[in-house]
Structure formats: C-alpha cells, structure tokens
Amino acid sequence: MGILPETIATYYEQAFETYDKARKPPNIEVSFYPYVGINHTIRVRDGRVFVRIAEICRDLPASAQRALALILVAKLYRRRAPAAARDIYSAAVSTEEYRVRAVANKRKHGRKVVTSSKGEVYDLERIFDSLNTAYFGGSIEKPTLTWSARKTYRILGHHDATHKTIVVSRSLDSVTVPKFVVEYIVFHEMLHVHHPAKVINGRRYHHTAAFRRNERKFRYYEEAESWIERNVRKLKRDAKKK
C-alpha cells in the first residue's frame, strides 16, 4: 500500500526546516499522480506547497521518500540536495523492479509520434539496412524508423528504447544535407541499441567508452561531425521558419 500522503507531508515539513530553520513550514499537500515515467513535481501556489509523486513510486520506503523530500525542497531554495539524499533516492529507483515498472508504464500510457521512414529525399529503412549490414553484421533488430513530426536542430536524432523507435530530425531530409550526415545520425542511434545504457552508482550512462570507440568507426565520422558543426546555425534558421 505504501506510506500515506499525510505522513509523507511531514517529511516535507522536516525538509523545509532543514533548509530554513527560522521559518515555519508552509501547508503541504502530497498526492500521487499517474506520470508516465518516474517524475515528481513541487509547486508553490498562494503560500501552499503542492507535491506530486509518480504513482509507480507509491511504495518507496520511508528512507527514499525522505530523501526525495530533501531533493524537491532543495529545488525551491535553488540549492543542491545533500549527496546522501541523492544517493539514497537513486539507489531506490534504480533497482530492476522500478526500471521494469517505468518501462511497462511508458509502453502502456506513453505516446510516440510516428510519421514515416520514407522522407522526401532519404529513406531511413534503406539507410538502416545498409548500416546494419556494413557495421553490425545484420545483428541489430530493426526498430520503428521515423522522421520527426517537425524540424528540429538541437536534437538531430534519438533512440527510444521503451517504444523501440529511432527518430531522425526532419531538418536532415533535404538535398542540401549530405547522405553521410543522415547515415551518421542513424548509425549513432543504432549504437544505442547495440550499447544499452549502463547504471553505475545509481546513474545512467548512455555514451560509454565502448560506445565512443565504436562511434569513431563510422567511415565519415570526422566529415559528419564537421558538417554538423558548420551548419548548426542554418539548421536552426530553417527549423524556425513557419
């Protein structure tokens, strides 16, 4: 069943006293909310504090709930939460049990916008198949491949392990973009499939040393990195055009 919200509210009162002993803790309301992932929020409205904790974390132990209270209240004070609190909370939510819960919840309630793998210029399916043969011996199971719904420039591609999807920015589906740049972005995301994120001391690492070594094996690695660096402003301008 987990700890009652009223009890958890006392943890937040204690957290406020930790950061400001001279001030009386405000009225605090704690509730569980059906966030898709492991997300939590804290807001101040009309002098009251509203805390929303992810539903899948309802049965976190008291030690982790206390640690989370210190972390969230620290954000209000724009301070860094104690290392011990961060370690306790990370250890609790980084277990296999919570990882499985989060993935299952995202698959059930999450929504992924999928357009098409075939763009106006480049076909992501063909690019994936070519790279899979050339660099992975055909060992990568093909995920859903799609161009993004709109042009982006900050993130040119990403791999969503939960929905088994690789998304590439529509900004790159252009005759002005060399094919090797699109191939490089797809290759990078394929490496995320080949090198799943590792959890070390409660932190998730996506770009490990092995990942970076393999990334440099791409035939046009230097050229692609150079092109992206030179053209990031142009991509930004194009993305912002109506």
DSSP lists the bridge partners of residue 48 as 45
Q: Do domains 5-109 and 124-240 have the same CATH topology?
A: yes
Q: Report if pTM > 0.75.
A: no
Please report the pLDDT score of residue 108 as a whole number: 63
Q: What whole-number distance in Å separates Cα of residue 34 and Cα of residue 31?
A: 10
What is residue 24's three-state secondary structure?
Answer: coil
In order of 6, 24, 26, 87, 178, the CA distances from 48 in angstroms are 15, 12, 6, 28, 54
103 in helix, strand or coil?
helix
Query: Per CATH, which fold does 5-109 belong to?
Result: Zincin-like (3.30.2010)
CA 153/CA 70 separation, integer angstroms: 36
| Cα distance between residue 189 and residue 180, in whole Å | 14
**pLDDT digits 0-9 by tens, 124-142:** 999 999 999 999 999 999 9
Model pLDDT, residue 238: 84
- Which homologous superfamily does the CATH classification assign to the domain defined by 124-240? Metalloproteases ("zincins"), catalytic domain (3.30.2010.10)
Distance between CA atoms of residues 62 and 25, nearest Å: 20
Amino acid at 26: P
Would you list the domain boundaries of the chain?
Answer: 5-109, 124-240
Q: Are strands 48-54 and 165-168 parallel, antiparallel or unpaired?
A: unpaired
Per-residue confidence (pLDDT) for residue 240, from 0 to 100: 80
Nearest in space to 38 (alpha carbons), one of 54, 58, 51: 54
pLDDT in tens, the chain (242 residues): 579 999 999 999 999 999 999 999 999 999 998 877 788 999 999 899 999 999 889 889 999 999 999 999 999 999 999 999 999 999 888 887 777 777 676 666 555 566 789 999 999 999 999 999 999 999 999 999 999 988 988 889 999 887 789 999 999 999 999 999 999 999 999 999 999 888 776 567 888 999 999 999 999 999 999 999 999 999 988 888 75
